[in-house]
Amino acid sequence: MDVQNQTTVTEFILTAFPALQKLQIFLFVALLFTYLLTLTGNGVIISLIWADSRLQTPMYFFLSNLSLLDISYTSSVTPKLLSFLLKDRKTISLAGCISQTYFFFILGTVEFILLVVMSFDRHVAICNPLRYTIVMNSRLCLLLVLGCWVGAFLSVLCPTIVVSRLPFCHKEIHHFFCDIAPLLQVACIDTHFIEMINFLLSSLILLTSLVITTVSYTYIISTILRIPSAQGRQTAFSTCASHITVVSIAYGSNIFMYVRPSQSHSLEFDKETAVFTIMVTPLLNPFIYSLRNETVKDVFRDAVNKIISSLHRKP
């Protein structure tokens, strides 16, 4: 497009869910309930881990960081979406749109790197149990979490800067948040090269972290199968089953969305997948970990009993 035909875009209009226009109130209630349940579930996990000494181990330290990430990840999109569902005109400023893109992707990237760290933690615990407390000391745990944030920051910053400097000719974004693919569609220039860079970067982050996690669990499962007692094997598997479930859900949805050369041909499918990734996955994670973890359930029961006892003592 010629420069003279370009217009300065200061805000975007997000179409959200035009096919469900008559169900906006129902969607608002459903998504609000899901969001509040996500905040509550992950908040409870964080509170239990930081309040009870039985959960103050490297595994639960990483789990508390995952819960904090889930809260931040869904909060980067959900509050704005909820406000859109109550408005006829769904607008977001250019600066707000770019900021949403940046925080959405940096938080998502941190989570995938953290899942690798959590698989490494389980690898050391099961494959080298005698060295676990030496290797996974508090200093290394803090450095690993810090490394997740630094790695995500460096990998997301440059693509976000490139997108923020694009000339935009159209205001209407066919999505419910500022995802990369629909944002590139409203640019004035050919964005094929940027799409390819985005594809390569997404592939590098998602597939590399998936391969490392898969290799870790290959060694873990191999070690578990060599445990002589059935009870020992069951205990070892129970500590890994929750993480494997979370990894499968997280990678499954995101690979469909971002690991493909062209992302412009399936935006409607992306919307459906994004709802699952942004709303449902952060909701499921605390329940997956708590329902399959006897220690977490014991701590939760004790916390509830303490609250009930304290209420009964009040005059």
pLDDT < 70: residue spans in the chain: 1-7, 260-269, 313-315
- d(C-alpha 214, C-alpha 120), whole Å: 11
Evaluate whether the domain defined by 8-296 bears CATH number 1.20.1070.10. yes
Whether the CB-CB separation of 102 and 156 falls below 8 Å is answered with yes
- d(C-alpha 290, C-alpha 226), whole Å: 27
The pLDDT of residue 272 is 76
Whether the CB-CB separation of 98 and 164 falls below 8 Å is answered with yes
Instruction: Extract the tokens encoding 189.
Output: 């220039």
Give the global pTM.
Answer: 0.88
Give residue 49's Cα distance to chain centre. 20
Strands 172-173 and 91-93, sheet pairing: unpaired
The pLDDT of residue 314 is 59
Say which residue the tokens 């070892």 belong to.
236
Quickly count: other Cβ atoms within 10 Å of residue 12's Cβ.
Answer: 22
Angle formed at CA 249 by CA 177 and CA 58, multiple of 5 degrees:
105
The pLDDT of residue 296 is 84
The pLDDT of residue 315 is 56
Say which residue the tokens 């578990």 belong to.
224
Sheet arrangement for strand 172-173: 91-93, 11-14, 172-173
Q: Residue 107 in 3-state DSSP? A: helix
